[in-house]
Amino acid sequence: MTQLVPPHGGKGLTCCLLEGAERDAELKKAEGLKKVDISPLVKGDLIMMGIGGFSPLTSFMTKADWKGVCDDYLLADGTFWPVPVILDVSKEDADAINDGDEIALFDPEGNEIMGTMKVTEKYELTAAEKKYECEKIFMGEGTPTAEEFWKIAEEDHPGVQVVMGQKAVNLAGPVKVLSEGEYPTKYAGVYHRPEESRKIFEDKGWSEVAALQLRNPMHRSHEYLCKIAVEVCDGVYIHSLVGNLKPGDIPADVRVKCIDSLVKNYFVDKNVVQGGYPLDMRYAGPREGLLHATFRQNYGCSRMIIGRDHAGVGDFYGMFEAQTIFDKIPTPAEEGKALICNPLKIDWTFYCFKCDGMASMRTCPHGKDDRVLLSGTMLRKMLSEGKELPDHFGRDEVVAILREYYEGLTEKVEIKTHKAATGE
C-alpha cells in the first residue's frame, strides 16, 4: 500500500498514452485522418495528458472549462485547475472539422503524429476574451491595474504573447497519445512518467516528498531550498522543465549537467532524485505555481517548494505572490477534487558573509551589503557578459559548466534584469 499522496482529481493516474498493438492500430488509423499542426506548448500539454502528469485531464478544455478555470480555478465538473489547457487551430482547419470527427495531432517540428482526438466542441475566443484570460492568468501584484499591465504585457510577457497569438478556433475533446516525442531518449534517466517517479519514491520508502521546480541553472539558493526540504520531508525531487523556454534561458541539457554535478558533490544520494518533465514555461507566476503543485501531486509529491518570484518574469508579480495565492484558492468538498499538494513556503535565501553561510530574510539580521543575492536571471546575465561572479554565487563545478556553454554561443541574447533579480 503506497504512502504517497494520491493523484489529483480522485481518479488515479489518468493516462491517455497508448502502447504496443493498441498504439500501432491507432497510428495506422491516424495516417488517414485530417492532420492538424500543434504548437510546442500544446505538444507538451498533450504528452502530460498521455503520461498522467495532468491527471485528471484526458481532454483539451471546453469553453465552460476555460471560463471556470479563468474565473474560479475550477473545471466545469468542479475539480480544481489553475490554468487553461486548450488546443488552438486555424479557422481554415476548424471549418473542415465537424463535431464528432477524429483528427490527427501533428508536430511539425518533430515531423510526427503525436496523438488523435475526437472533437466534441469548437469555440472561438474573441480578442476581448483572450485579453480577459491574460488578465486572470498573468496579471499580478507587480502590475495591479489592467492599464499598467497592458502598457507592457504584449511586449514583455511571453505568456501573454502566446495567448494573444493563438489561432482563431479552439477544439475540445478526448485524446489518445501516441508519442512522448524526443524526451525519453534525449533525457533518458531524467525524464519520468508519474508512475516511474512514484515507483522510485516508494522504493526509497518515502511518503512526504517535496518538489523543486527548476527552469534556471541550479545555484546556491536552489541548493539551500532543497536542503531545507530534505530536513522536513523524506526526500526532495529536483524536477526541471525540459520543454521550451524564452530566448536567453539556458537549455535543458546544460541545466541537467549542472544538477548532476550538484547532486553528485553536495547531496546525500538517498535523499534526492532528479527528474524532468516535458512542458513549456507559461511564465504565469502565482497561477503557474499552482499548476506546478497540481501536477507534482500526480508525480507523488506532497509539498511544492515555493520561494521568491516563483515562475515569474520581469516585474509582473509580487515577490511572494506565488506563496499567498495558495491561501486564496477554492477547496472543493468532493473527494479528490481539491489540491492537496501543499506549498513549502521559504523566504528569500542568500549567502551572508557575516553569517558565514546560507541564510534567509527570516534568519539573517544583516544588511544587503553583507549578502550575495542569488538569482537565476542575474547569473545568466553576468555569465552571458563574461563577468566574474561574486564569491558564493554558485558552486565552482556548476559555474564551469555554464562558462563552457556561454563561451560556445555564437549569438548572444540580451538578458533583462528586474527587481526580483537585483534585490531592489
User: Which residues in the chain are classed under CATH 3.40.50.620?
Assistant: 186-422
Which CATH topology does 186-422 take? Answer: Rossmann fold (3.40.50)
Q: Read out DSSP for 138-168?
A: H--TTS-SHHHHHHHHHHH-HHHHHHHT--S
Pick the range with the lowest mean pLDDT from 150-164, 292-306, 365-379. Answer: 365-379
pLDDT range class, residue 382, cuts 50, 70, 90? confident
pLDDT at 421: 46
Segment 344-371, tens digit of pLDDT: 999 999 999 999 999 999 999 999 999 9
Architecture of the domain spanning 20-125+166-179? Roll (3.10)
Give me the residues paired with residue 171 across strands: 87, 122
Percentage of the residues of the chain whose pLDDT score is greater than 90: 83
Tell me the average pLDDT of the chain.
Answer: 93
Q: Of 170, 198, 216, 395, which residue is the catalytic one?
A: 216
Q: Of 198, 215, 303, 395, which residue is the catalytic one?
A: 215
What's the average model confidence in pLDDT over 369-393?
80
pLDDT at 394: 84
Does the annotation count 216 as an active-site position? Answer: yes
Give me the residues paired with residue 342 across strands: 303
User: Residue 66 carries which side chain, given as an amino acid letter?
Assistant: W
Segment 74-95, tens digit of pLDDT: 999 999 999 999 999 999 999 9
Q: Rounded to whole angstroms, how far apart are CA atoms 140 and 387?
A: 32
- Where would I find the H helices in 316-374? 321-324
Instruction: Name the more confident of 157 and 243.
Output: 157
Q: Rounded to whole angstroms, how far apart are CA atoms 284 and 310?
A: 9
The Cα-based distances of 380 to 139, 178, 316, 402 in angstroms read: 25, 36, 19, 9
What's the average model confidence in pLDDT over 305-327?
95
Q: Rounded to whole angstroms, how far apart are CA atoms 281 and 274?
A: 19
Cβ neighbours of residue 272 under 8 Å, at least 6 residues apart?
226, 230, 235, 236, 237, 238, 263
pLDDT range class, residue 375, cuts 50, 70, 90? low
For cell 469555440, the residue is 123
Q: Collapse the DSSP code of 277 into the 3-class scheme (helix H, G, I; strand E, B; otherwise coil) and give the result.
A: strand
CA 391 distance to own-chain centroid: 30
What's the average model confidence in pLDDT over 259-279?
94
Segment 11-58, tens digit of pLDDT: 999 999 999 999 999 999 999 999 999 999 999 999 999 999 999 999
pLDDT at 424: 47
pLDDT at 248: 73
Query: Does the structure show a pLDDT above 90 at 384?
Result: no
pLDDT range class, residue 189, cuts 50, 70, 90? very high
- The whole-model pTM stands at 0.94
Cell triple for 325: 495565492
User: Which residues in the chain are classed under CATH 3.10.400.10?
Assistant: 20-125+166-179
pLDDT range class, residue 416, cuts 50, 70, 90? low
Percentage of the residues of the chain whose pLDDT score is greater than 70: 96
Query: Does the structure show a pLDDT above 70 at 374?
Result: no
Smallest CA-to-CA distance from 101 within 124, 120, 115 is with: 120
